[in-house]
Amino acid sequence: MEFLLLLVLVGVVFLLLLLLAKRQHTYWARNGVTQLNPELFYGDLRDMLSGQVPIGSAFVNFYNTFKQKNLRFGGIYWAFTPMFVPVDVQLIKAILVKDFAYFQDRGTYHHENDVLSQNLFRIGGEPWRTLRQKLSPTFTSSRMRMMFETMQQKIQQLEPILDRCIQEGRINVTDVSACLTTDVIGSCAFGIECNALQDPDCQLRQQGRRISIPMPLKQWVENTIPRKLLGYTGFKAFPGQEGFFRKLVLDTMAYREKNSVYRKDFMHLLLQLRNKGVLTDDGNFSREQSHKGILTDDEIIAQCFIFFTAGFDTSSSTMAFAMRELALQPDLQARVREEVLQVFSKYGGNITYEGTKELLLTGRVIAETLRKYPVLPNIPRICTKDYKIPDSNVVLRKGTQIQLPVWGLHMDPDYYPDPHKFDPERFSEAAKATRPEFAYFPFGEGPRICIGARFAQLEAKLGLAALLRRGKFSVLPHAPTTLTFKPSMVLLHATEDIQLKVEQA
Ligand code: HEM
């Protein structure tokens, strides 16, 4: 009898939960937003959550579905979490810029007990605003000019590696680019010579590989369990990483202070902010009584970590995608090489900071690469106070999650005819003028735009120039004709490493 009662009770609870789940999947319909056909547990993301398609592709499909219905926006469910997907470029502009005050956070997990999660990408509200104000001066064009020398020294180390690849007749551009960007960001953010190009198994490269591992379950947990609760369970946004980065940053800072080492890199600027509270264009970072430091050790650790994480993978994938497209179009490749050689010869065989501005076609190749392969294919936001969508009766409630479908817009034939064609001329001044604003935003837009965008573009230009100056690249026989992407990754990653044939140019 008791057992029967228990069974009935379990059945009733199960039924109630089922009804609740069903009701949750009507959230958008009840709020006047068109929705799709969510399934129990998965919502609209069965293929993504079961590891079959990348997040980016799922949102390209949502964008296309809503656009085909002539909608300005739509609603989907990430398991049980409602997510808003804007389609209209004016609405996207409002979210990113005009009405930024309602959407200044990403809603990504961060907690005071989890040092690495306290980084600029993840935190929100006033702490984000204050931190961004402190860090922005470290990314201005004059600081990029200062760092240029450090970046260039690393990129020059590509030469012997390229020579070896030329001898072997093939190059793994995914791997070489990842080692190169690890060396650049390792040197610029941490001031260390990790030499991943010579030793692809060096510690920082290994750490980079661990960060790139897909984590669908972790993401689901972060998206579903309330942040405050999760923080007290000891959950870590980047498990097993803190010890390594803490030691790296604290050791480097201590060494520099003890030996008065001046290097032209982020670490120097962060040390100035910690010790003096202001940036000066010199080697001075000693503690001054008159100024108060404005960054703590933990804040520096978290920011160095995000510069590394956000900096190495994004730039290396962009370079690898660009090289593949150039290998597929030998005429375009020859034109880019000609531009590179001209600039090298104009500046005495060594590109200067000014010289990089003359690499116009190379810049367009990078822009077109980021259109076709935006490494962050969706940009997350969260609504921080109730927001009435202009020219509609829909109100987005505080706490609503939003995904801006960058890749969907970038592949929209209304903005980019024949969107699968790789054509850098889409980024000539004349062509750009024909498109609406916000049909292109690989680095995001508005006050939360990627802080490292200048750094990334400079690095990609120098990297491509170094490869194309000496090497001539083409596709290997039997290479796959289309690229596929790793499922369950937030960043766009090719499933297979990109390998090319290379000979002396
Ligand atoms: C091709 C390379 C890169 C791409 C495509 C890229 C893309 C992005 C995107 C789309 C965002 C979100 C913007 C938004 O929400 O509006 C972002 C944020 C960010 N990126 Fe990048 N990024 C790249 C390289 C870098 C590099 C090299 C660094 C650091 C050295 C960096 C550091 C950051 C940081 C710290 C944020 C958070 C900014 C904030 O919330 O205030 N990124 N990036």
Q: Is the pLDDT of residue 316 over 60?
A: yes
> pLDDT digits over 375-424, tens only?
999 999 999 999 999 999 999 999 999 999 999 999 999 999 999 999 99
Burial 336-360 (b: 16+ CB within 10 A, else e): bbebbeebbeeeeeebebebbebbe
What is the 12 CA–ligand 1 centroid distance (Å)? Answer: 48
Residue 435, pLDDT above cutoff 90: yes
Q: pLDDT band for position 343 (50/70/90)?
A: very high
Predicted local confidence at residue 28, as pLDDT: 97
Tell which atom from ligand 1 comes closest to the C-alpha of 312: 27
Residue 489: pLDDT over 80: no
194-230 as b/e: b if 16+ CB within 10 A = bbbbeebebebbebbeeebebbbebbeebbeeeeeeb
Q: Measure 451 CA to ligand 1 centroid, in angstroms.
A: 6
Cβ proximity of 35 and 28 under 8 Å:
yes
Ligand 1: distance of its center to the CA of 289 in Å?
A: 34
CB of 454 within 6 A of ligand 1: the answer is no
Which pLDDT score is estimated for 212? 58
Please report which confidence band the pLDDT of residue 69 belongs to, taking 50, 70 and 90 as the band edges.
very high
The CA 121 to ligand 1 mean position distance, Å, reads 8
Question: How confident is the model at residue 217, as a pLDDT?
Answer: 67
Going by C-alpha positions, the residue among 364, 402, 113, 66 that lies closest to residue 230 is 113
Give me the chain's average pLDDT, please: 91
Average pLDDT over residues 108-113: 89
CB of residue 452 inside a 6 A radius of ligand 1: yes
List Cα–Cα distances, 424 to 237, 241, 247, 366, in angstroms: 37, 39, 43, 8
Q: Are strands 401-404 and 379-382 parallel, antiparallel or unpaired?
A: antiparallel
Query: What φ, ψ does residue 86 adopt, rounded to 5°?
Result: -75, 145
- Ligand 1 near 102 CB (within 6 A): no
Cβ 162 under 6 angstroms from ligand 1:
no
Let me know: does 75 contact 113? Beta carbons within 8 Å.
no
| Distance from the alpha carbon of residue 360 to the mean position of ligand 1, in angstroms | 22
Atom 20 of ligand 1, nearest CA residue: 450
Q: Which atom of ligand 1 is nearest to the CA of 444?
A: 16
Residues of each annotated binding site for heme: 450
Mean pLDDT, residues 158-170: 94
pLDDT given at position 279: 84
Bridge partners for 105 per DSSP = 382
Locate the ligand 1 atom nearest the alpha carbon of residue 376 and give its number. 10
- Name the more confident of 240 and 65: 65
**What strand order describes the sheet that includes 73-78?**
73-78, 81-86, 401-404, 379-382
Residues contributing to the annotated binding site: 450
Is residue 456 over pLDDT 90?
yes
* Candidate from 183, 316, 443, 461 with most ligand 1 atoms within 8 A of CB, to mutate: 443
Task: Indicate if ligand 1 lies below 6 Å from the C-beta of 241.
Answer: no
Q: What is the dihedral of CA 458, 131, 249, 298, to 10 degrees?
A: -160
What pLDDT was estimated at residue 320?
Answer: 97
CA–centroid distance, 448 to ligand 1, in Å, is 9
Is 379 a pocket residue for ligand 1 (Cβ < 6 Å)? Answer: yes
CA 53 to CA 471: how far, in whole Å? 34
Task: Output the pLDDT for position 32.
Answer: 96
Residue for token digits 């690890």?
A: 182
* pLDDT greater than 80 at residue 293: no
- Spacing, Cα 454 to ligand 1 middle (Å): 10
Which pLDDT value is given to residue 413?
Answer: 98
Is the pLDDT at 309 greater than 70? The verdict is yes
Q: Is 27 in the pocket of ligand 1 (CB under 6 A)?
A: no
Task: Tell me 62's DSSP state.
Answer: H
pLDDT for res 115: 94
Residues 94 and 49: their CA atoms lie apart, in Å, by 30
pLDDT in tens, 9-33: 888 888 888 888 888 999 999 999 9
Average pLDDT over residues 278-302: 83
Region 78-91 average pLDDT: 95
d(CA 297, CA 353): 32
Say whether pLDDT at 351 is over 90: no
For 32-53, the pLDDT digits (tens) are: 999 999 998 889 988 887 778 8
The question of ipTM being above 0.90 is answered as: yes
Instruction: Name the residue with higher pLDDT: 490 or 60.
Output: 60
**Starting from the edge strand earliest in sequence, which strands make up the sheet with 170-172, in order?**
170-172, 499-504, 471-475
Are 181 and 466 spatial neighbours (Cβ–Cβ below 8 Å)?
no
Q: What is the DSSP string of 122-178?
A: T--HHHHHHHHHHHGGGGSHHHHHHHHHHHHHHHHTHHHHHHHHHHHTEEEHHHHHH
Q: What pLDDT band is residue 232 in, cutting at 50, 70 and 90?
A: confident
At 64 the pLDDT is 98
Ligand 1: residue whose CA is nearest its atom 40: 121
Q: Is 448 in the pocket of ligand 1 (CB under 6 A)?
A: yes
CA of 453 to the centre of ligand 1 (A): 6
261-278 pLDDT, tens digit each = 888 888 888 998 898 888
- The whole-number pLDDT of residue 417 equals 97
* Radius of gyration, CA atoms only, the chain: 24
Q: Locate tokens 């590179």: which residue?
A: 340
Check residues 45 and 290 and name the one with the higher pLDDT: 45
For ligand 1, the distance from its centroid to the CA atom of residue 119, given in whole angstroms, is 12
Q: What's the pLDDT tens digit per position in 186-229?
A: 888 888 888 888 888 888 888 877 775 555 567 777 777 777 78
Q: Residue 55: which pLDDT band, with cuts at 50, 70 and 90?
A: confident
**Predicted local confidence at residue 213, as pLDDT:** 53
- Mutation choice for ligand 1 from 450, 458, 491, CB with most ligand atoms inside 8 A: 450
Residue with CA closest to ligand 1 atom 43: 450
Q: Output the residue whose Cα is nearest ligand 1's atom 18.
A: 450
Give yes or no for a contact between 267 and 189, defined as CB atoms under 8 angstroms apart: yes
